């Protein structure tokens, strides 16, 4: 009963993912929370107020101008008589209203009137999620302090398309609610720097050396540390995923830029170097596009070694109290991880097998081994969000956070 006594105001918007709200209500109530639902008119086209009311054991609120509910300014009571407002699913339409301060129905009016924490679980077609207008609105909500979970990659129920747009699973949303309402944060008052994604090392203005890193794991770790109360600086290489909420993100392209950004973030209590930094760069990139010449061999590329950011941090005069590195390997995972632990001056190496058949590089799941001077701990196959949550808790235990 980890949410015992907590009051959740659940706003259900009009998308096909509204059917998941029924399971979400059950998950929240299993943990002891009380759930008071608001349904938009669109939501009622997908699930009925009768079903929502039966599962929540609560009156379902649907209309702003309800004679019964508004006789004592009901929308203000709804906005204030809760510990958290949860919007699941959060459609593109409702996110647009929230970002622009519109209040033309009960749901949007309550969201404008609340002074409680707000968590949204976006769900929509991948094209709608990727649209510039939705991304502008999402960025605005992040700046306004709105927390978010998802959307996730997967197949869309209504169209069969694949992409980012699926609502997070109910159990993941319930976990996030629990995190937000769990009280003291073990990393409160501490600072962390995290690197994520690949680096792009230019060959000429249109070509570069890179790798297949998506940034999903690094971004998830930055978000997990922030949820435990740390003030996080994320240094991200070029990725196509959104910046995590509650984190200061600095975008870079090249390894040298990443190193400089990391060093400028010191001193810090924690460093987690997740980025797959290119080991080499072209010694002298061309100022113009290199053209193929008929009958001539390709021009040679002279490579220079890039800075070793993990080693630099691990031996720095302002070395963080805890330094964690990642080792993406295709063979001899433990052996290479132990070697890296010693050479780089790290306290922990998180090693994984990124051979193509694993699907880890660029995928949504991971299987890691934690390699420290105390030994090796193998974790099972987990989502990258789950790896991030476990690692953040491991870090909090090791560093001995006192909370706030």
**Is there a binding annotation on residue 344?**
yes
CA 173 – CA 161 distance, rounded (Å): 23
Which phi and psi (to 5°) does residue 194 adopt?
-125, 140
CA 304 – CA 203 distance, rounded (Å): 12
**Is there a binding annotation on residue 340?**
yes
160: left (phi over 0), alpha (psi -120 to 50) or beta: left
Of 79, 77, 71, 33, whose CA–CA distance to 55 is shortest?
33
Token digits for 394?
A: 């491991």
Give the dihedral of Cα atoms 241, 246, 251, 256; nearest 10 deg: -120
- Catalytic status, residue 125: no
Contact 111, 98 (CB under 8 A): yes
DSSP structure string for 22-80: HHHHHHHHHTT-EEEEEE-TTGGGTS-HHHHHHHHTSPPB--TT-TTTTTT-HHHHHHH
DSSP structure string for 243-308: PPTTSEEEE--SHHHHHHHHHHT-S-SEEEE--B--SEEESS--SSPPPP-TT-PPPP--EEEPP-
CA 123 – CA 19 distance, rounded (Å): 12
- Which of 211, 306, 352, 366 does the annotation list as catalytic? 211
**Is there a binding annotation on residue 310?**
yes
Contact 155, 366 (CB under 8 A): no
Place of tokens 């009016």: 109
CA 125 – CA 142 distance, rounded (Å): 20
**Is there a binding annotation on residue 37?**
no
The Cβ of residue 6 has, within 10 Å, a number of other Cβ atoms equal to: 21
- Say whether 141 sits in a helix, a strand or coil: helix
Token digits for 113?
A: 């009137």
**Is there a binding annotation on residue 6?**
no
**Is there a binding annotation on residue 243?**
no
Binding-site residues sit at 279, 289, 307-310, 326, 340, 344
Binding-site residues for CTP sit at 279, 289, 307-310, 326, 340, 344
Return the active site residues: 211
């Amino acid at each position: 009963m980890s949410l015992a006594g907590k009051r959740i105001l659940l706003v259900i918007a009009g998308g096909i993912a509204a059917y998941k709200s029924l399971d979400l209500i059950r998950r929240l109530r299993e943990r002891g929370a009380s759930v008071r639902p608001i349904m938009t008119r669109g939501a009622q086209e997908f699930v009925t107020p009768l079903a929502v009311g039966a599962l929540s054991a609560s009156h379902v609120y649907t209309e702003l101008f309800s004679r019964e509910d508004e006789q004592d300014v009901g929308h203000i009571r709804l906005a204030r008589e809760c510990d958290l407002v949860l919007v699941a699913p959060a459609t593109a339409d409702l996110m647009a209203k929230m970002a622009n301060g519109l209040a033309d129905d009960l749901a949007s009016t309550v969201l404008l009137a609340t002074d409680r924490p707000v968590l949204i679980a976006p769900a929509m077609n991948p094209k709608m999620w990727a649209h510039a207008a939705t991304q502008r609105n999402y960025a605005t909500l992040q700046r306004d302090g709105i927390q978010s979970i998802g959307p996730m990659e997967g197949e869309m129920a209504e169209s069969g398309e694949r992409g980012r747009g699926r609502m997070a699973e109910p159990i993941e949303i319930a976990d996030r609610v629990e995190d937000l309402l769990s009280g003291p944060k073990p990393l409160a008052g501490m600072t962390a720097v995290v690197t994520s994604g690949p680096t792009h090392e230019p060959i000429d203005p249109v070509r570069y050396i890179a790798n297949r890193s998506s940034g999903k794991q690094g971004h998830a770790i930055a978000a997990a540390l922030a949820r435990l109360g740390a003030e996080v600086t994320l240094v991200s290489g070029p990725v196509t995923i959104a910046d995590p909420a509650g984190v200061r993100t600095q975008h870079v392209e090249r390894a040298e830029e990443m190193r400089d950004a990391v060093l400028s973030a010191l001193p810090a209590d924690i460093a987690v170097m997740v980025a797959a930094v290119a080991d080499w760069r072209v010694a002298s990139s061309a100022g113009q596009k290199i053209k193929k010449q008929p009958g001539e061999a390709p021009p040679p590329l002279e490579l220079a070694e890039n800075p070793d950011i993990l080693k630099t941090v691990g031996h720095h005069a302002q070395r963080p109290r805890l330094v964690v590195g990642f080792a993406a390997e295709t063979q001899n995972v433990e052996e290479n991880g132990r070697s890296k632990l010693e050479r780089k001056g790290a306290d922990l190496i998180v090693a994984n097998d990124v051979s193509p058949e694993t699907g880890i590089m660029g995928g949504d799941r991971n299987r890691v081994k934690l390699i420290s001077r105390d030994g090796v701990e193998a974790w099972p196959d987990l989502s990258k969000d789950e790896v991030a949550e476990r690692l953040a808790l491991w870090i909090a235990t090791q560093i001995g956070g006192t909370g706030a």
